[in-house]
Structure 1
Amino acid sequence: MSALQAVMRRHSYPQVTADAPTHEQLHPFVEAAATIADHGSLKPWRLIELRGDDRVKLGKAFAKEGGSADKPLRASLLIAVVAIHRSKSKPEWEQEVVASGVAYMMSLLLDEAGWGVFWRTGDLTRNKRVAKVHKLAKNEKLMGWLYVGGKPAKSKSQSRPKITVSQHLSTP
């Protein structure tokens, strides 16, 4: 399958099965995601695996902030995507874009390997209690979580409507 075909068939799986890749199975995906364009080669990102009780702790933090304690339990594996502001000479937003690129690359790679993935974001990514669960440093920002699991046998295909390319691609 070509990269174009893989990207065109990818979609989010808001519900996944309890299956999840092992820590070791994630290694090649992380290595591949590290090839993302990175102005200055800062690698301004890191990923945090949340499994088992770590998801329960995250759920408790969600609940204390008005969210749902069950959300982090919707997948056996959550991968927190963290942007790290490593350099004052490079804009912080550029470093966040790299971390976001890693998240999307991971979602593509995992999907192509047969895993269901859903990228969750929201207000809780900027919450102090949630940051504490992830043990974030002062120069780090949580960009969201990749919920990873098996693709359900029956899944509502979330086919995307075709875009009008001219609305999104122009010349000067």
Structure 2
Amino acid sequence: MPTLVAAETDERDALLQFLAAQRGALRRALGGLTREQATSRPTASELSVAGLVKHCAEVESNWIRVDLAGRPSLRPRDVTNWSDSHRLVEGEEIEAVLAFYDQVEAETAEIVAALPDLDATVPLPEAPWFPKDARRSGRWILMHLIEETARHAGHADIIRESIDGATAFALLGWK
């Protein structure tokens, strides 16, 4: 699918625009679905469209807000509640997940704009999946988020098509 990201932007803006394009793909996959459809798992996977949107919002918030800016997490996760980041929990509504994603997007833009440059590095938290004493640059984090969000947007496309036959092209109004 062609990108809508302008070629004449600087690197920081281009990375943010590529990330926004992938967020848009996730949102489109969710658009028009009922709660029952959005939380359904019609494939062999445990993933749902709503769960993927929530997961991507939380992952982006943690990489940008917590790791890059050193702020406290808005939605702390550990091994006891990790699966809650992949599904809507009791009382959680799609509108709230989308509002949280809006908040995350705005905060990402604010934090990235404030970076002295994209080469600035931050330590990664201690976790079994990170190398000991690892550091990552703002550039690396943004590229990783683009990759992560794009991967999950693809998952959401497949799940959405399994739910009602809608494809990414149809959701954009293309034939």
* TM-score normalized by the length of structure 2: 0.28
Greater share of strand residues, 1 or 2? 1
Greater share of helix residues, 1 or 2? 2
